[in-house]
Each structure stands twice: as structure tokens, then as C-alpha cells.
Amino acid sequence: MSVNPKTTYRRILLKLSGEALMGEEGFGIDPKVLDRMAQEIKELIEMGVQVGLVIGGGNLFRGAGLAEAGMNRVVGDQMGMLATVMNGLAMRDALHRAFVNARLMSAIDLTGVCDSYNWAEAISLLKSGRVVIFSAGTGNPFFTTDSAACLRGIEIDADAVFKGTKVDGIYSADPVTNPDAELYSHLTYDEILDKELKVMDLAAFTLARDHSMPIRVFNMNKEGALKSIIMGGTEGTVIDHSENFSK
Ligand SMILES: Nc1ncnc2c1ncn2[C@@H]1O[C@H](COP(=O)(O)OP(=O)(O)OP(=O)(O)O)[C@@H](O)[C@H]1O
Ligand SMILES: O=c1ccn([C@@H]2O[C@H](COP(=O)(O)O)[C@@H](O)[C@H]2O)c(=O)[nH]1
């Protein structure tokens, strides 16, 4: 499959927030959001962009929240990781319904439900135009799917990690609680650390920085935002090493 001349992206790792998958619902998955994201991913595949996908689990379970309620943290994290498999199953189904070839891999063996994570196979599937969904995070407790996204992004040699979230990008403060917060179009890794901005957990962020993996944070609730970025648009916030950013 050839890369459309309108985009410079060859392969991306797309991370979708589990919480944003809830849409208007209070828990679980809003099928409208799921189907829209499947269509948006389909457009990228049709443009020749290879797409690896990581989906969060915040719409179902987070280990930290379960531990606060009294559960053992490791058990809570295992539930969180399984929640990401459930989101992965739903997304694979939505992609198949949209006639997009997709495979679901899990960092925890779940024979009969989905494939186990296999790096070489993932690369081969991506090259043949299939979407590969990497679920169950890193397979280890005390991490998040942001870490998994950066890890898998580096492993598959993605051009960038695209982090789809509920807000337009990275702000000077949490825009949900600070209406006056300013949106940044570009930040260096060091600026994020200096300003102590809450973009990703530190483990994920330092992994991306140490391997010079650019991160693009964008609003996945904004229809067409993903395609716009892929086509060179200025949506969201770019994080990389460059001091002189011009895009
Ligand atoms: N400086 C900031 N800029 C942007 N968002 C911020 C900032 N500080 C805090 N936030 C909050 O971070 C949230 C983004 O959360 P994010 O999408 O990363 O959730 P997540 O925990 O990775 O998702 P999930 O667990 O559901 O997959 C935003 O909704 C926003 O309220
Ligand atoms: O590598 C990982 C990834 C995730 N978890 C657990 O899953 C939940 C859901 O992921 P989010 O990134 O918060 O959406 C997370 O809170 C952890 O409990 C994990 O243990 N290891």
C-alpha cells in the first residue's frame, strides 16, 4: 500500500482515551463514539497510513481508583488491563463492521479471545495494511496505557504517538477546572517537565523523550481532527525536542 502524497506519516501509534469512549454515557462505551473512531481510522488506512492502536480503560476500571476503594492494587491493575482488552474487542468489532481488517493482541495471554502480543507479527500485519490493536497495556501493574502507547510506538518504529483525549491539547493548566488556561501548539519535552504539565504519567513521558518519540495530543471528540493532523493541519499540541517549531 503506498503512502498518499498528502501525508508524511508512514506509521503511527494512536492512543485513544477509554474515558472519551464513554461519550455521553456515565460508564462503558458509547457505540456512536466507537463507530465514528472506526470510520476515522478507516480513512487513515485508505490513505496508506499504518495504524497501531492502544485504547485506555478509564471508561471501565482504573487500578488506582479500585485501590482507593480498598482493593489490592495489583488486582485492580489487572482489572484495568482486562478493561482495555474489552475496549479492544469492541473496537476490533467496530472496525470489522466498517470493513477494516484489524487484529487484537494482548500483553496478557487470553487464548481463544485474542492473539498474544508478538512484535514481529505486529510489524508484518501493519505492513499489510491491518490495524493492530495492542491491549492489556504493558502487561504489568503500576503502569498506564500511556506507557503502553509510548512503548509500542517505539517498538513498531512509529513516526509519532497520537494521543486522543477529551480536550484540545495541552494547556497551561487543566482546562476542565481552569477556563482561562492557555492552549499550547508546541512544547519541548523539557518544557513539559519544567512547567509540570499533566500530559502523561512520567514513565510514559520519559520513555518518549529518551527515544525521541514525538507526541501529538488532540481532541478525539472533534470530528475530523485526526485526519486534519495527518494531512498537516495544526490541531492539538506537538511535543518533541525541537526548540524552533514552525508547523
Ligand atoms: N495541562 C493540561 N492540559 C490538558 N489536559 C490536562 C492538563 N492537566 C490535566 N489535564 C486533564 O487530563 C485529561 C486527559 O486525560 P487522558 O485523556 O490522558 O486520560 P487517560 O487517563 O489517559 O485516559 P483513559 O484512562 O480514559 O484512557 C483531560 O481531560 C484534562 O482534564
Ligand atoms: O500497562 C498497564 C496499563 C494499564 N494498567 C491498568 O489499566 C488501567 C486502565 O488504563 P488507563 O491508562 O488508566 O486508561 C490503569 O489505570 C491500570 O490500572 C496497568 O496496570 N498496566
Q: Whose CA is nearest to atom 15 of ligand 2?
A: 62
User: Which tens digits make up the pLDDT trace of 94-137?
Assistant: 999 999 999 999 999 999 999 999 999 999 999 999 999 999 99
- Ranges of the chain whose pLDDT falls below 70: 1-5, 244-247
Q: Where are the beta strands (DSSP E) in 109-244?
A: 115-116, 131-135, 160-165, 186-188, 215-219, 237-240
User: Which residues are paired to 153 by β-bridges?
Assistant: none
Task: Evaluate: CB of 147 within 6 angstroms of ligand 1.
Answer: no
This prediction has a pTM of 0.95
Residue whose cell numbers read 488486582: 75
Looking at residue 171, the DSSP 8-state letter turns out to be: B
Predicted ipTM of the assembly:
0.95
Ligand 1 centroid from CA 206, angstroms: 17
Taking the CA of residue 16 as reference, the ligand 1 atom at the shortest distance is 27
For residue 4, the model assigns a pLDDT of 58
Number of the ligand closest to the Cα of 236 = 1
For residue 19, the model assigns a pLDDT of 93
User: Which residues are paired to 160 by β-bridges?
Assistant: 12
For residue 127, the model assigns a pLDDT of 98
